[in-house]
Amino acid sequence: MPVWANILVLTFMAGSAIPLGGLLATVDSIRPNWLDEELRHSITAFGGGALLSAIALVLVPEGIESFSVIISTLLFLAGGLLFMWVDIWLYRHNTSGGQLVAMVSDFIPESIALGASLALGKGSSLLLACLIAMQNLPEGFNAFRELRESGQYSCRKILLLFVMLALTGPIAGLAAYYWLSNYESIISGIMLVAAGGILYAVFQDIAPQVRLEKHWAPPLGAVLGFVLGLVGYMSLH
């Protein structure tokens, strides 16, 4: 199979977990008691843990390889400031989508990394695609609930949006393969900016929703989410 076809298949597989997560979040409309508060908070924490693992084990280690400490720090801070600006903009326009922004900002850089890894002939592309898919599943779940609870979008519109977002993965992967594979510093910079932004989003939009009075399982979800990334990192290295 040609390399470009591999990129299409792997990035689409990883991206399809986004609408799948949103579809799972609609189950409570059929059985309202199935998704109780503790389970929903645990899934939110799991998504937060998976994002933190992406920052600590993928985006930052890969991003800092091309830059000095000062440049790496500036790019990371720039990502946090950029996401803060986006968060302020969403608030002023009364738009609920913090977790959606975090999900997209995580998925696109990782798709770029996936396309670049295939261009460089690395053998870990399939495993990387599986890890991205496992992160996208809880992120799609949480982003769907956030948008649905805002009351501004119907379930059908949200799922259609998620399908369109899933297609950004193949676009980003092919762009990396054809145009960015020879510019490692650009890919590294994108990863660092995304890492800073995701960290801001985790503590601004995800972590405050994890704690639940008289329940202690939700924070464990963050631990399990990070363990997911740790297993993937140790398998790759």
Q: Average pLDDT in the 77-90 region? A: 80
- Sketch the domain layout of the chain as residue ranges: 3-236
Who wins on pLDDT, 2 or 96? 2
* pLDDT of res. 192: 83
Who wins on pLDDT, 40 or 50? 50
Who wins on pLDDT, 94 or 82? 82
Burial of 89 (0-12, 13-18, 19+ CB in 10 A): exposed
Q: Average pLDDT in the 72-94 region? A: 80
* pLDDT of res. 6: 86
Distance CA 217, CA 206 (A): 15
Q: Read off the pLDDT band of 170 (50, 70, 90).
A: very high
* Token pair belonging to 191: 């990863």
Q: Average pLDDT in the 211-227 region? A: 54
Q: Average pLDDT in the 46-63 region? A: 74
Contact between residue 148 and residue 32 where contact means Cβ atoms under 8 Å apart: no
Lowest model confidence (mean pLDDT) among 81-90, 117-126, 134-143: 117-126
Q: Is 215 helix (H, G, I), strand (E, B) or coil?
A: strand
* pLDDT of res. 30: 47
| pTM, full prediction | 0.69
Burial of 233 (0-12, 13-18, 19+ CB in 10 A): middle
Q: Provide the percentage of residues in the chain whose pLDDT is more than 90.
A: 7
| Phi, psi at 22, each rounded to 5° | -65, -40
